Amino acid sequence: MKKLFVGIALATFTFSATAQVQAPAPSPAAKIEQTVGLTDISIAYSRPQVKGRTVFGDLVPYGKMWRTGANKAVQFSASTDLMVEGKELKAGNYALFTVPNKDNWDIVFYEETEIWGTPREWVDSLEALRVNVKTMTLNDNVESFTISIDNVVESKKAQVSISWATTKVMFNIETPMEKMALASIEKTMAGPSAGDYYSAASFYLETGKDLEQALVWIKKSSELREKEAYWVLRKQSLIEAELGKTDDAIKTAKRSLELAEKAGNGDYVKMNKESIAEWSKK
């Protein structure tokens, strides 16, 4: 009998320790992602239901900051700067809040994102942007709170829509697609930059590939710069040393040392002195 009791108790403990009740969330999570031009936009939010209630002006009071949905504040992310209703919003992650009114809403982007509900204390300096948009009345009831990205046009413009019950608001966004595309074209057509040549030469040196080509690239990196850079000359001296061009390596290292001393970079001063001493013995 005692063994039976112990067995029942153990089984009960095991069940209580491992079992989890699964039930649908009353306000399920949702996430939308959209590329507009060359900009990636994502919005994560929760979706409460109307359930026969009067939403705006009652469940959601007019004139008060609202989390915009349920649970955690809406997470809005943009990979590049945007224009929102003609005003600049820097690239980054934001909490999106709203202030609903009968005829218009404030749309607010807030720099503190890890907020459940609305902030206990609103910090004006964390408010990245606030715009005001007009409300629209829908003919059909939207049961589940919905945010969408609509009307993507010209590969650079779109509208973010917020709909619930019979109310809808939209705000316009515009991305710097043309500016980004032109910058990319100009960079590509202009050829590799000084940094590109430096990176390529460094890779060839580190992996023991064609060092003569690495030397061409590192010299090209210097040529494209407005002034000599001690770290580029340091890399050139290492390539020359690997090629057995010891006299050239010492000469280049001495110039790198001189520039590093002027810049006050002790690490490069030390490395160059040690290399010059080592190569001078050969």
Q: What is the pLDDT of residues 131-160, one digit of tens each?
A: 999 999 999 999 999 999 999 987 789 999
- pLDDT, residue 153, reads 87
Helix (H, G, I), strand (E, B) or coil at 236: helix
Least Cα distance to 145 among 258, 51, 217 occurs for: 51
Average pLDDT on 68-86 reads 95
Can you tell me the distance from the alpha carbon of 263 to that of 255, in angstroms, rounded to the nearest whole number? 12
136-169 in b/e form (b: 16+ CB < 10 A) is: eeeeeebeebbbbbeeeeeebbbebbbbbbebeb
| pTM confidence score | 0.63
Q: What is the pLDDT of residues 199-238, one digit of tens each?
A: 999 999 999 999 999 999 999 999 999 999 999 999 999 9
Q: What is the pLDDT of residues 79-108, one digit of tens each?
A: 999 999 999 999 999 999 999 999 999 999
Domains of the chain: 23-178 (no CATH), 189-280 (1.25.40.10)
